[in-house]
Amino acid sequence: MKILVVGGAGYIGSICTELLLDEGHTISVFDNLSEGHRRAVDGRANFFEGDLGDLNSITSALTASQPEAVMHFAASALVGESMENPSKYFRNNIGSGLNLLDAMVSTGVKRLVFSSTCAIFGPPERLPIDETLPQRPINPYGESKLAFEKILRWYGEIHGIDFVSLRYFNAAGASGNFGEEHRIETHLIPNVLKVALGQKAHVEIYGTDYDTPDGTCIRDYIHILDLSRAHILALTSPGGAFYNLGTGGGTSVREIIESCRKVTGREISVVEKPRRPGDPPRLIASSEKAQRELGWRPQFQNIDAIIESAWQWHQKFPNGYGD
């Protein structure tokens, strides 16, 4: 299949591109490199540097690559930043997303796999979070993703765009060649591993008095390879569907740090700080629907294995992509 991966120079997009190429698909990548890295684009893929904010740019890439499907990973994705600069999130995640959809309509591309988020639900009424829960986002990031999901429904009905939306929380781990490097790193695992690498003095724990077994927040971590396989399965599944992705379990902040100590064999200093506003004690997603309808089965249920893959990549590329 010919596929255009939008945001394919980013963390999830780059590894999904790698797996698609390994399976024999013909892949083109579209990215503006504002958050992604040119070196994260698999050398077997065609690369178009462009911005979704420019309708002509994405239309030209679709015309040149003639894909049968699009995977859409391009988005602003920092919850805290979205509370400070909501305009950026609505422009990038909704306005630029509309450019992609309009370009798909004009070039006749009918299939889209959308990288969404469980942040559309807000604080959940129950765990794990399944698709039936009410959608009440509490930040502009989650609101922007939910708005785009609603737009997808209408583009499906009016223009025949056949879409699948995948919602998840914490992608983690690495492949042999590609891993996690953000210009502003807010994710826990890479920040803990930076301490193990000697690049940071300590890791910070925000809140130790939550109603959890060890007092720290619990989150659902999915190996990036499992996540990528879910996106690939969605390429050929029935459209008009929304799926939550999770491992069915969760790992606390302290457990992540302890696992990193075990995997790396190094000391990791911790500084405890007060809670951050809006951090729920537990966030765990249900993947029962995805397992039932997509046939998705996460292979990496053990947090040590996820962290081991990330550690191997960070050791191999201690300075990341170096750009």
Active site (catalytic) residues: 141
Residue 266, C-beta contacts closer than 8 angstroms, at least 6 positions apart = 196
Give whole-number Cα distances, 6 to 28, 33, 62, in Å: 9, 11, 10
CA separation for the pair 141, 163 (Å, rounded): 21
**Structure tokens of 101?**
């959809």
Q: What are phi and psi of 176, to 5 degrees?
A: -65, -30
Q: DSSP readout, 96-137?
A: HHHHHHHHHHHHT--EEEEE--GGGG-S-SSSSB-TTS----
Tally: H helices and E strands in the chain: 11, 14
DSSP state of 52: T
Nearest to 208 by CA among 307, 281, 261: 281
Alpha carbons within 13 angstroms on the beta-carbon side of residue 58 total 26
Overall size of the chain counted in residues: 323
Residue 275, C-beta contacts closer than 8 angstroms, at least 6 positions apart = 206, 207, 209, 210
Nearest to 196 by CA among 323, 303, 300, 308: 308
Residue 130, C-beta contacts closer than 8 angstroms, at least 6 positions apart = 244, 285, 286, 288, 289
CA separation for the pair 165, 112 (Å, rounded): 8
